């Protein structure tokens, strides 16, 4: 996939849009990404669409609405990794030489479709046993606290940091700072430790990127007389859940470690090279587990490091400068694409008040499905470089 670039990015603000359908949500993001790439819609050769709950053929509906009917369209579902998996398939197609300009859309409408949160699926054994997501993260916090001494305060600081970052993100669902006391004092969801502000909200939204072959992007830039400073998509690694291993140690997320290892191997970019990361913080505890499993610090080190500002926008390795899922929002299919939009803006120096200092390499991580993996789990790690 190293010959592929992120040529254009676009997204719509995440939020609650009861009066807008999936196509209404997706269209502005698609057109923004195409414009950002300096292209016309008619130049798009194929499309991939990541979505979970929107019903059949959301990508074809969007493509028809853009007047691009006829081109190949593939809808991809991998729960919370749907958008990033769509990006993976697009990158494989471009890398194979089949296409050289591909649109990748992530879109989701949760308000009006799911009520108070995501309910367990019919076949979800974990959910049926009462181990809904929030309960699993409370258990994982408890174990992490016992093994490594991670404190409730350190976990709440994840939410404080991500909400603070989001204030500078015009596309964020929430743009409001919260103090440590406010996070810890918010409504308890599952004890210990998982309170309302430790959980990502449900949301509606869309994001899109244009993936191109490096060669075609170079030619297009030359034809426009623009400088060619591409954001290269080095890899989108994909892993699935292995039950036993994760059951063995809930404080270490194997599926994330698997995807991270694959991504580092495939890209030649190691964890020490990463300058900025967007990590799947569906719960405050999730960011801790994932940053550690990705090797961005050692297991147990996340907590002490957040106290020193290590993961802040001005810190050593900024994590979730966009505001993350906790504040920017989490319309499932859109999440993985929105992360790559953020990394692209960061690598181009276009991130405004949340700009990280001169990043050269960015990592984004998505993780979908059940925690134990017995009922299906998916994880992606994408790496982009400038």
**List of residues contacting a copy of itself (CB under 8 A):** 21-23, 52, 55-61, 63-64, 68-79, 85, 88-89, 92-93, 95-98, 121-123, 237-243, 255, 258, 368-369, 373-378
Identity of the residue, 58 or 203, whose beta carbon is nearer to a copy of itself in the bound complex:
58
Q: Which two tokens stand for residue 232?
A: 């290269």
How many beta carbons lie within 10 A of that of residue 181, not counting itself? 11
Cα separations in angstroms, 189 against 136, 161, 193, 278, 289: 12, 20, 8, 25, 19
Q: Is 330 a catalytic residue?
A: yes
Q: How near is the Cβ of 237 to a copy of itself at its closest, in Å?
A: 8
Q: How near is the Cβ of 254 to a copy of itself at its closest, in Å?
A: 8
Q: How near is the Cβ of 97 to a copy of itself at its closest, in Å?
A: 8
| Catalytic hit among 80, 199, 282, 297 | 80
Identity of the residue, 247 or 357, whose beta carbon is nearer to a copy of itself in the bound complex:
247
- Residues 11/17/22/27 CA torsion (nearest 10 deg): -40
Per the omega criterion (within 30 degrees of 0), is the bond before 192 cis?
A: yes
Handedness of CA 48, 54, 58, 64 (dihedral sign): negative
| Catalytic hit among 144, 280, 310, 330 | 330
Q: How near is the Cβ of 321 to a copy of itself at its closest, in Å?
A: 28
Instruction: Judge whether 274 and 361 are in contact, CB under 8 Å.
Output: yes
Q: How near is the Cβ of 265 to a copy of itself at its closest, in Å?
A: 13
Instruction: Judge whether 319 and 279 are in contact, CB under 8 Å.
Output: yes
Q: How near is the Cβ of 371 to a copy of itself at its closest, in Å?
A: 13
Q: How near is the Cβ of 59 to a copy of itself at its closest, in Å?
A: 8
- β pairing state of 46-50 and 101-109: parallel
User: In sequence order, what are the beta bridge partners of 210?
Assistant: 8, 103
How far apart (Å, rounded) are the C-alpha atoms in residues 364 and 342? 9
How far apart (Å, rounded) are the C-alpha atoms in residues 357 and 313? 8
Identity of the residue, 237 or 294, whose beta carbon is nearer to a copy of itself in the bound complex:
237
Q: Angle 16-21-27 (CA atoms, 0-180°, nearest 5)?
A: 100
- Residues 184/188/193/199 CA torsion (nearest 10 deg): -90
Q: Coil, strand or helix: which one is 35?
A: helix
**What's the start-to-end Cα distance of the chain, in Å?**
15
HSE (side-chain half, CA atoms, 13 Å) at 233: 33
User: 24: part of which helix (H) or strand (E)?
Assistant: helix 22-36
Q: Is 341 a catalytic residue?
A: no
Q: Show Cβ contacts of residue 244 under 8 Å, excluding neighbours closer than 6 positions.
A: none
Instruction: Judge whether 204 and 20 are in contact, CB under 8 Å.
Output: yes
Identity of the residue, 236 or 326, whose beta carbon is nearer to a copy of itself in the bound complex:
236
Q: How near is the Cβ of 298 to a copy of itself at its closest, in Å?
A: 23
Identity of the residue, 259 or 317, whose beta carbon is nearer to a copy of itself in the bound complex:
259
How far apart (Å, rounded) are the C-alpha atoms in residues 110 and 290? 24
Point out the residues that are catalytic: 80, 330
């Amino acid at each position: 996939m190293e010959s592929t670039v992120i040529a254009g990015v676009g997204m719509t603000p995440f939020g609650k849009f009861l009066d807008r359908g999936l196509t209404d949500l997706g269209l502005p993001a698609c057109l923004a990404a195409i414009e950002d790439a300096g292209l016309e819609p008619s130049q798009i050769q194929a499309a991939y669409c990541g979505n979970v709950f929107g019903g059949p053929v959301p990508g074809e509906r969007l493509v028809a609405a853009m007047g691009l009917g006829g081109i190949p369209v593939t809808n991809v579902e991998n729960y919370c990794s749907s958008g990033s998996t769509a990006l993976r398939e697009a990158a494989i197609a471009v890398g194979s030489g089949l296409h050289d300009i591909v649109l990748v859309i992530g879109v989701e409408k949760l308000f009006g479709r799911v009520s108070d949160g995501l309910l367990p699926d019919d076949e979800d054994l974990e959910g049926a046993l009462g181990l809904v997501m929030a309960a699993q993260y409370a258990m994982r916090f408890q174990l992490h606290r016992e093994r490594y001494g991670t404190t409730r305060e350190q976990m709440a600081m994840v939410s404080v940091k991500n909400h603070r970052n989001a204030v500078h993100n015009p596309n964020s669902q929430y743009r409001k700072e919260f103090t440590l006391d406010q996070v810890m004092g918010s409504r308890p969801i599952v004890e210990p430790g998982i309170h309302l502000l430790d959980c990502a909200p449900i949301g509606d939204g869309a994001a899109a990127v244009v993936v191109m072959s490096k060669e075609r992007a170079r030619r297009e830039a030359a034809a426009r007389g623009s400088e060619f400073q591409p954001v290269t998509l080095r890899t989108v690694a994909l892993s699935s859940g292995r039950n036993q291993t994760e059951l063995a140690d809930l404080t270490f997320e194997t599926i994330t470690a698997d995807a991270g290892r694959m991504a580092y191997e495939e890209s030649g970019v190691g964890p020490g090279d990463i300058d900025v990361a967007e990590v799947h913080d569906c719960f405050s505890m999730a960011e801790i587990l994932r940053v550690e499993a990705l090797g961005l610090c050692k297991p147990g080190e996340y907590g002490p490091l957040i106290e020193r500002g290590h993961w802040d926008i001005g810190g050593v390795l900024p994590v979730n400068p966009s505001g993350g899922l906790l504040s920017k929002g989490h319309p499932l299919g859109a999440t993985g694409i929105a992360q790559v939009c953020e990394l692209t803006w960061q690598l181009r120096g276009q991130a405004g008040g949340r700009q990280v200092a001169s990043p050269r390499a960015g990592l984004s991580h998505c993780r979908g499905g059940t925690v134990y993996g017995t009922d299906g789990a998916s994880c992606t790690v994408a790496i982009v470089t400038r």
